[in-house]
Structure 1
Amino acid sequence: MDLNLIQAFVDIVDAGNLAEAGRRRGVTRSQVSRQLRELEHQAGAQLLRRTTRRLELTGPGHALYQHGVRILQEVASAQAEIDSLGRTLRGHVRVSVPTGLGDAYIAPLLLQFARKHPGITLRVFFANRVNDLIAAEIDVALKVTSAPPLDHVAREICDIRWQLYASPEYLADIPPVQAPPDLTGCNFLCPPYPPRQFPLSLYRDSQRVDVALTPKLQSENFLFLARAVREGLGIGMLPVYIGWEEVRAGRLVPVLPDWRPEGLGNKLFIITTPNLHPSMATRALIGFLREELDKLEVFRDAVA
């Protein structure tokens, strides 16, 4: 069978219809339809059953799709290995990174990687809510979470610590915050949380205190949230990797520094789909990010 036709067939199944498959392949719907007919002729069997709304795999089509995916992965791996022998990595990697962490620290690393490997093309998404990498068409995702998805491969990078921060000006205008209950009289800024009140848990040694706070401002973009804290809108809960530079510059002050708030995710992971044969480009990016993130002072200080 023609490998190009097998690739077209896999693209059709993944896309769900001929028109979308044509768009992804950069050809017309009629061209994709002709490729499908040719493959069915070579296979001697109907591979897809066309209904009014969608395409359904037949028995032979299901078998060919499963084998086709594995064949294409093997071919990509073989090409990557050949490229690596010639010291030239090629390929395309789709990457998802969280907004605040991505803007502040991951984006410069990705640009550095792109300069180092001109044969690899990147498609970078800044998103916090990517859960299904296959549906989102993502090869590599960096995610801050306490519970990585069990049906994916999660490589732990480092711990993520959270802290309460405020501007010196804001703290000068309010009564002293000396214990967790004092937070109830303050404006609270935090990541989004569905209920009206945010159940903040704070820990000191073996002691735990829970405080229910009504947020004044919520955002999943931590750079925006840090700006709001810096401009005196209230006390904000931020990852230490965001507040670290602000404290060093004197723009923010830790609030209740002896207490550790429980944030929305306590570890940074690199997450991929289960794949016995990831491309050399994907493996190169994962290795690069693990090595470079380990060098960043902010993450060493953030977990100290």
Structure 2
Amino acid sequence: MDLLALTIFVEIVDGGNLSQAARALNMSRANVSYHVAQLEKSLDAELLRRTPQGVELTNMGQQVYEHARNIVHEAALMRDAVSASEDQLTGKIGLSAPTGFGQLVMGPWLIEFKKKYPGIILEVRLENFIDNLVKDGVDVAIRVTPEPPPMVVARDLGPVHYTLCASAEWAARERLPQNLGELRRTPIITSGGVSGRVRMTAAQNGHEEEIEFVPTLMSRSYPFVLDCILSGIGVGLVPDYVIRPRLQTGELVQVLAEYQFGIDGNHLYLMYMPNRYQSRAAITFIDFLTDKMGLLRMVRRSGV
């Protein structure tokens, strides 16, 4: 059985079409099509049907896919075993992370990882949305969402903590909100929300209250949101990692610090595809990120 043909077949099914498999394997589409045709010829069975959306498995194709995926997985394990004695991990990892969290928090982590494992190639995409991990060539994704997609393996890294803050200038010029009721009448700048409205939770001493409001300004560009808060046009409601350094310097002051805030039940998730071979490099990277996230949670709890 041709291992290359099986690998191509698995890539086509995982990616959804021949073009994606060709990009993932750095082959021409014609070459990919040729190998699939040869595989079907050797098995004397139709495995894929072409559709306007891409390809779909036949009944026989589904059975062959299950076996092919296992064979490709075992072959990858064998390659890892052969290289296990090498001092340096190698491979390529595609990472997708939210723009703000990726730049402000993960950047130093990724530099540290690269210094520790120089043989691993990192392809980093800082973006807030992604449609399909396999199709987009992503091995590991960090996402902020209330619920991860059902088709991925997801590690819940905990809730995203939001902080209310205002510039020192705004605080000197305006009266800071003293309670949640006053907050409803305050111009709020935020990074979250759906359809122009934000559903915020405020928790204190085990009691949680939900507030829905329309922000005066909303953007998923954290540098822009931070500039708007610092300019004094309203009170900011953003993840704590965005503004923590500015709070420490006194440029920003915290508002209603006795509450813990959240938006739309958002949690931070580390995600990857199920039933897809994870190389030693990918496993090492996932464990590295998980450890870093754990340290980040410890820092939050300590209030540092």
In the alignment, which residue of structure 2 is the partner of 1:94?
Answer: 94
Distance 1:130 1:170 in 2: 37
In the alignment, which residue of structure 1 is the partner of 2:170?
Answer: 170
In the alignment, which residue of structure 1 is the partner of 2:218?
Answer: 218
The answer to whether the 8 A contact 2:48-2:57 is kept is: yes
Letter in 2 for 1:61: G
Distance 2:231 2:301 in 1: 26
Shift of 1:165: 0.4
Distance 1:20 1:197 in 2: 37
> Out of 297, 300, 303, which is 1:302 matched to?
300
SS, match of residue 72 in structure 2 = helix
Letter in 2 for 1:192: G
Distance 1:54 1:268 in 2: 32
In the alignment, which residue of structure 2 is the partner of 1:188?
Answer: 188
Partner deviation per Cα, 1:183-230 (whole Å, 9 max, x = no partner): 233221112323444343323224445544321111123333222212
Structure 1 residue runs of 4 or more that deviate by more than 6 Å after TM superposition: none
User: Within 5 A, what are the aligned runs for 1:67-216?
Assistant: 67-130=67-130, 132-216=132-216
Letter in 1 for 2:284: A
Distance 1:42 1:81 in 2: 30
The answer to whether the 8 A contact 2:15-2:21 is kept is: yes
Distance 1:5 1:244 in 2: 52
The answer to whether the 8 A contact 2:200-2:264 is kept is: no
Distance 2:218 2:258 in 1: 24
Say how many residue pairs are matched: 302
Seq. identity, %? 31
Going from structure 1 to structure 2, the CA distance change for 1:231 and 1:8 (only over 3 Å counts) comes to same
Structure 1 alignment gaps of length 5 or more? none
Shift of 1:278: 2.1
Distance 1:230 1:137 in 2: 37
In the alignment, which residue of structure 1 is the partner of 2:4?
Answer: 4
Shift of 1:3: 0.6
Larger CA deviation: 123-132 vs 166-175: 123-132
TM-align CA RMSD: 2.8
Query: TM-score, normalization: structure 1?
Result: 0.85
Structure 2 alignment gaps of length 5 or more? none
Shift of 1:8: 2.3
The answer to whether the 8 A contact 1:181-1:211 is kept is: no
Going from structure 1 to structure 2, the CA distance change for 1:83 and 1:32 (only over 3 Å counts) comes to same
Going from structure 1 to structure 2, the CA distance change for 1:138 and 1:50 (only over 3 Å counts) comes to closer
SS, match of residue 185 in structure 1 = coil
SS, match of residue 215 in structure 1 = coil
Distance 2:52 2:221 in 1: 42
The answer to whether the 8 A contact 1:158-1:267 is kept is: yes
The answer to whether the 8 A contact 2:141-2:271 is kept is: yes
Larger CA deviation: 222-231 vs 65-74: 222-231
The answer to whether the 8 A contact 1:159-1:303 is kept is: no
Going from structure 1 to structure 2, the CA distance change for 1:293 and 1:192 (only over 3 Å counts) comes to closer
